[in-house]
Amino acid sequence: MSTSAESEARKALSRLSRAAEKAERELDALEGALRHAEGRDFPAEEYVQARSAVRRLLDFADEEAQRLQDKVLHAGGLEPGRIRRGGSS
């Protein structure tokens, strides 16, 4: 994968994650407003399903970011599972 493609992929994943996080916040706001207005008529199960769909999107973005990082490390001759994070041992 070229450096340009990697950069574009990281940017796209970042945008996707931010959009999904915003969708989650907006869904919370919508649910709060409608739950208050509709009371017992509020379709709670539909909101559970919508929240689950947004969560799947966030999980997908996280998994793709990890896959991209592993691919970049592998292309650089490093084994993805053996990289340590942080400065102290």
Domain residue ranges of the chain, discontinuous segments joined by +: 3-76
Contacts of 35 (CB under 8 A, 6+ apart): 42, 44
Q: Quick one: pLDDT at residue 16? A: 96
| pLDDT at position 32 over 90 | yes
| pLDDT at position 71 over 90 | no
Q: Quick one: pLDDT at residue 89? A: 47
Can you tell me the mean pLDDT for 59-73? 90
Q: Quick one: pLDDT at residue 55? A: 97
Report the chain's terminal Cα–Cα distance, integer Å. 32
